[in-house]
Amino acid sequence: MPDIELKQKYLRVRYRAVRSSMMSLKTGLFLILCLTTAVLLCNGERVRYDNYRVYKVKATTLNGLKILRKMEETNNSLHYLDEVHKIEKPINIVVAPHKLTDFLSALNENEITYELLEENVQKAIDKDYEQVATGRAILNRWRKYQTLDSNYNWLVGLARSYPGVVTVIEGGKSYEKRSILGVKISYNNGSKQKPGIFLEAGIHAREWIAPATATYVINELLTSSDEEVKEIAQNYDWYVFPHANPDGYVYTHTTDRMWRKTRQPHGTCYGADPNRNWNVFWNTVGTSSEPCSNIYAGSAANSEIEVKSLSNYITALKDNIQLYISLHSFSQYLLYPYGHTNQLPDNVKDFEQVYNVTVKALNKRYETVYTGGNIYDAIYPAAGSSVDFAYTKLGIRMAFCFELRPNGSFNGNGMELPADQIQPTAAELLDGLVAMVGEVKSLGYFKNYFYL
C-alpha cells in the first residue's frame, strides 16, 4: 500500500475511535473501573498513588510463599511489581495506605521479611510523566519517552524517508480499535531470499523502556555507520512492532501509570495479561483465573484481540522467521523457553551458547550485568507467553525474551527507568542483538538462505 494511503488509513482509524468514544459518552454507555487501590475519577483524571508505599518482601517459608500468592489473588489494594515464585526470592509490592497495617501484620505473622523502598509512589510517577515528550519538535526521540501517536507518526514517516526499504505493516487491531503498527525493514542487496527476525515490544503496558528500545533499534538499522549493525540490517528482513498492547500503553499515559494489561472488560474488571494469553499451554501455571489479577490469563486462549490478531500475523510469516525476540522490562534477564515447565528445549545447548555470547556483548559497553536462562527457572513459571508460542507452536527454533533495565523494579526514580537511561539501555541491547544474530547464524539456523 502506498505510504500516503497507509497514513490516511491510520488517521481514519484514529478518527473512528475518537468518534466512537464520544458517542458512547453521549449515550451514557461509557464504562470505567474505579479501582479500589486508587481514586479514579470518571472525568478523565489520572489515578493517583499518594502515600502508597513500595516494599521489597521475601518469603522465608513455604507458608509465607502461599500467603503472598493468596494476597496477590484476593487484594486489589496491593500491586505486585514482580511475580511470586520462590522462597527467598525478593519481590516488590505497592501497598495502599489504608492496607498498610494489615499488610505488615500479615508479613510479620508469616515469617516474610520486608524492606521499605519508597514512601510515596506518586512522587516517582510524577517524575515519569515529566519525562514524556511533548510538542512536535523532537531533536532526539530517545531523550524522553514518546506517546503512542508520536511513535506511530514516526513509523509512518519512515516509509516516506526510506522508500523501498521500510514498509509500514499492521499486525492487527486492539480492543479499542487501534492499529498494531510496525515496520518491515528489507534492503535490496541482491539477495533472493533473506532470513527473518521478528521483534515485538510493549506487550506489558507500563514497561515504557521496551517500546523506546524497539524504536531505537529500528533507527539504528536504518542509520548506523557501524559495520556490524549494517550487516544485520542489510542481510536480514526485520519485522519490528514497538507496541504489542497499544490500548494499555495509552492508558498508562492518560490514566494509570501502573497499568500492565489490555483494556478489554472481563466482568467488573478490565484487561488480561497479554503475555499469558497466547495459545500455548494456556492457563496451566504462573497465571490467574481472577479477572482483577495482573496475571489474569484471560477468559480463553487468544481472548484478547491484540494477542489473537498478532499471533495470526506471526503465524502467516512463520516460514520466513528464524529468530523471535520479545522486549520486556525489568530485571536484566535474557530468557528462552520454556515458561510452562522446567523441562528444557531439545536444542538447549544452542540456546545456552547464544545466551553466553549475548550477555557478554550486553556487558561490554557499560558493564551491565544480565543473567537468565530458561523462563521457568530463571525468573518464574509463566504459561501462555509469546516466546513459548513462537518456539512451540510455530517452530521458530530460536526465541528469546530480553528483560531490560533496571535490575530492580523500583529504584526511586520512577516506575521503570529514568529517560536519560533510554539510550544506554537501547545501545547495549543493540550490541546484544548483533552478537545474538551472529551466533544464531554460526549455529546454522539461517543455513537455508541464499546469501549464507
Q: Among all residues, which ones are annotated catalytic?
A: 403
Cα dihedral 27, 28, 33, 39, rounded to 10, equals 120
Going from the C-alpha of 367 to that of each of 85, 220, 417, 435, the distances in angstroms are: 28, 21, 17, 16
232 touches 160 (CB < 8 A): no
What is the C-alpha to C-alpha distance for residues 273 and 294, in angstroms, rounded to an integer? 6
d(CA 409, CA 232): 32
Task: Find all residues with CB under 8 Å of 253, minimum gap 6, and list them.
Answer: 129, 132, 147, 148
Can you tell me whether residue 193 is helix, strand or coil? coil
The SS3 call for residue 287 is: coil
Distance, CA of 243 to CA of 240 (rounded, Å): 9
Q: Are 389 and 101 in contact (CB under 8 A)?
A: no
DSSP state at residue 389: I
- For residue 163, give every residue at least 6 positions away whose Cβ sits within 8 Å of its Cβ, in sequence order, or none: 3
| CA proximity to 142, closest of 433, 424, 452, 408 | 424
C-alpha cell recorded at residue 217: 533499534
CA 417, CA 326: separation in Å to the nearest integer?
18
Would you say 336 and 374 are in contact if contact means Cβ atoms under 8 Å apart?
yes
330: preceding bond cis by omega (within 30 degrees)? yes
Positive or negative, the CA dihedral 243, 246, 250, 255 is: negative
Query: What amino acid occupies position 320?
Result: N
Q: How many of the other CB atoms lie within 10 Å of CB of 369?
A: 10
- Under a CB-based contact definition with an 8 Å cutoff, are residues 192 and 204 in contact? no
SS3 39: coil
Q: Which three cell numbers stand for residue 21?
A: 468514544
Instruction: Give the C-alpha separation, 335 to 376, whole Å.
Output: 9
